[in-house]
Structure 1
Amino acid sequence: MNKNRIKKLSALAETKFLNLYDVEYEKKNGKTGQWAMASRKDLETLNGQCFENREEKTDAAIIAALHEKSNKLVCIRQFRVPLNDYIYELPAGLIDGEEDFEESAARELREETGFKLAKINHEKTRKRIYASPGMTDESAAMVFCTCTGDGSDQQLEEEEDIEVMLLSQEEVKALLKKDVKIDIKAYMVFQAFVEIGEKLFK
């Protein structure tokens, strides 16, 4: 990590899954600036990362999976409260406790879709990426893999409203032409799947 420019963190709001912090930091000209930041991490964890050089913990796992039997991409359409609408996404979820991202990816894929993770493409998988760094430090592992089995929604939590789909290259191509809400991570995977197909996952 480069020079630590964060000088102080103050909690503004804390909830079960998301926290809001006021950040005092040093600007490039040496002056002090303020920033509002959302985080999955509690204040103790953030202070440890910023001021005690503790290793950053990846927050979530995102699963880009190809169903082996059908040779189709696993996709979900999920209701998201902030949008008050459904959005096309990839299966994903928070990493629990001491799980590594691979364990989390297998668990979330099974819980959200009913599919079983078969093989991870370690060459394309990334341990940590960031989707909206201007607003949050949230990070996720991007896991490219294949999966097996039949889809199911039997393990969904009460608040999860998810439709599971298997999409061919042509179906993804057609979806990208529609005026529908698509998560940015899913959008990038959709584009790559249209261009290079199953090579993305194997």
Structure 2
Amino acid sequence: MGKITNIKKQTDNRFLNIYELDNIHKSGRKGKYFVASRAKDIDSLKITTGKNNPDGVIIYALSGEDKDKVVLIRQYRYPINDYIYEFPAGLVEEGEDYSEAAGREIYEETGMRFTPISVPDGYNRPFFTTIGMTDESCATVFGYCDGEPSHEHQEDSEEIEIILADKDEVRRILKEEKIAIMTAYMLMHFIKDEEPFGFLKED
């Protein structure tokens, strides 16, 4: 297996930084690899700690009287200079439980109140997002939303539309719109499962 011989921090930004890794390939050839990370310093990198603490949280929430609508946001994102459909999401603050982060983030982005549900072990632990480029990991929290959507608590830097989508609208979104990949996978569950969150039940 490859080996990392040195790590150098290349940038000093608030939310995201680039780290340069000197490495040796399995053949013995030396090389370099570049990793984007939310870690503030080398000692906090997952490479260094060996721990997978979640950087962020993603919220898969259902709403409506019959819990037959999924809560989505349509958000402007600079990397594509366009709007994309996503689940509400955000960063986990230091010392914050990711279930607490889920409630805070969904309220800030949608104005709705969130009630998480219990899921089997392994369903909401942190998983890596785009491992070829970043060590970022996110936990998914599942639950239900109540209340009327509102833009009141969004930050000035956020351009977010709140979407409560039924199955017909989700089918259209999957066919026609830009969607984050994890959101797309979960929306496929949403349109196929007769029972909301049925896929979360253990056999």
Q: What TM-score do you get using the length of structure 1 for normalisation?
A: 0.88
State whether residues 9 and 42 of structure 2, in contact with CA within 8 Å, keep that contact through their aligned partners in structure 1.
Answer: no
Q: Distance in 1 between matches of 2:19 and 2:3?
A: 16
Q: For each residue in 1:57-77, what CA deviation from the matched residue of structure 2 results, as whole angstroms up to 9, or x when unmatched?
A: 210000010115252100000
State whether residues 13 and 19 of structure 1, in contact with CA within 8 Å, keep that contact through their aligned partners in structure 2.
Answer: yes
Q: Distance in 2 between matches of 1:109 and 1:165?
A: 12
State whether residues 63 and 144 of structure 2, in contact with CA within 8 Å, keep that contact through their aligned partners in structure 1.
Answer: yes
Change (3 A) 1:44 1:34: closer
- Stretches of structure 2 that go unaligned for 5 or more consecutive residues are none
Report the counterpart of residue 52 of structure 2 in structure 1: 56
Q: Distance in 2 between matches of 1:6 and 1:42?
A: 19
The answer on 1:23 being equivalent to 2:21 is: yes
Q: Distance in 2 between matches of 1:125 and 1:153?
A: 30
| 1:1-202 correspondence to structure 2 within 5 Å | 5-46=3-44, 49-51=46-48, 53=49, 55-71=51-67, 72-123=69-120, 125-178=123-176, 180-197=177-194, 198-200=196-198
Q: What code does the residue aligned with 2:163 have?
A: M
- CA offset at residue 121 of structure 1? 3.7
- CA offset at residue 30 of structure 1? 4.0
Q: What code does the residue aligned with 2:189 have?
A: A
Q: Distance in 1 between matches of 2:18 and 2:106?
A: 29
Q: Distance in 1 between matches of 2:2 and 2:29?
A: 14
- CA offset at residue 83 of structure 1? 1.0
State whether residues 75 and 159 of structure 2, in contact with CA within 8 Å, keep that contact through their aligned partners in structure 1.
Answer: yes
Q: Distance in 2 between matches of 1:57 and 1:26?
A: 27
State whether residues 52 and 137 of structure 2, in contact with CA within 8 Å, keep that contact through their aligned partners in structure 1.
Answer: no
- Stretches of structure 1 that go unaligned for 5 or more consecutive residues are none
Give the 3-state SS of the residue equivalent to 2:182 in structure 1. helix
Compare 15-24 and 125-134 and name the one that shifted more.
125-134
Compare 23-32 and 158-167 and name the one that shifted more.
23-32
Q: Distance in 1 between matches of 2:189 and 2:119?
A: 17
Change (3 A) 1:4 1:63: farther
Q: What TM-score do you get using the length of structure 2 for normalisation?
A: 0.88
State whether residues 38 and 137 of structure 1, in contact with CA within 8 Å, keep that contact through their aligned partners in structure 2.
Answer: yes
State whether residues 111 and 156 of structure 1, in contact with CA within 8 Å, keep that contact through their aligned partners in structure 2.
Answer: yes
Change (3 A) 1:150 1:4: farther
How many residue pairs get aligned? The number is 197
